[in-house]
Amino acid sequence: MYARRRRGYFVLMGVCLTLFVLAWAVVRLWSVPAAVAMCFVAMVIPPVAAIVANRRGPDDRWWDAPSGDEESDRWWDELDGKGRH
């Protein structure tokens, strides 16, 4: 799952950079409003890429889910103040 999220992030960021560079290197020669529009689209992509990269998949462990390692779970519970009784 991690590789898929990382690949998605890099694809989105590559599209963002491509849009930005093409907007001001090529498209602005024909249409400045189109170049500005491309930059606005590129501006929206980084937050979407961050959401894609940080989304938890169905098989990913959530931060407070037990790991299955008793010693580790006990240690984290102690740190969180959840002492087992």
Domain ranges in the chain are: 2-80
> Given the structure tokens 């894609």, which residue do they identify?
52
- How many Å apart are CA 5 and CA 1, to the nearest integer? 6
CA count, 13 A, side-chain hemisphere, 12: 18
Model confidence, pTM: 0.66
The one-digit pLDDT tens for each residue of the chain (85 residues) are 678 888 999 999 999 999 999 999 999 999 999 999 999 999 999 999 999 888 877 666 666 677 778 888 888 788 777 765 5
20: tokens are 């930005």
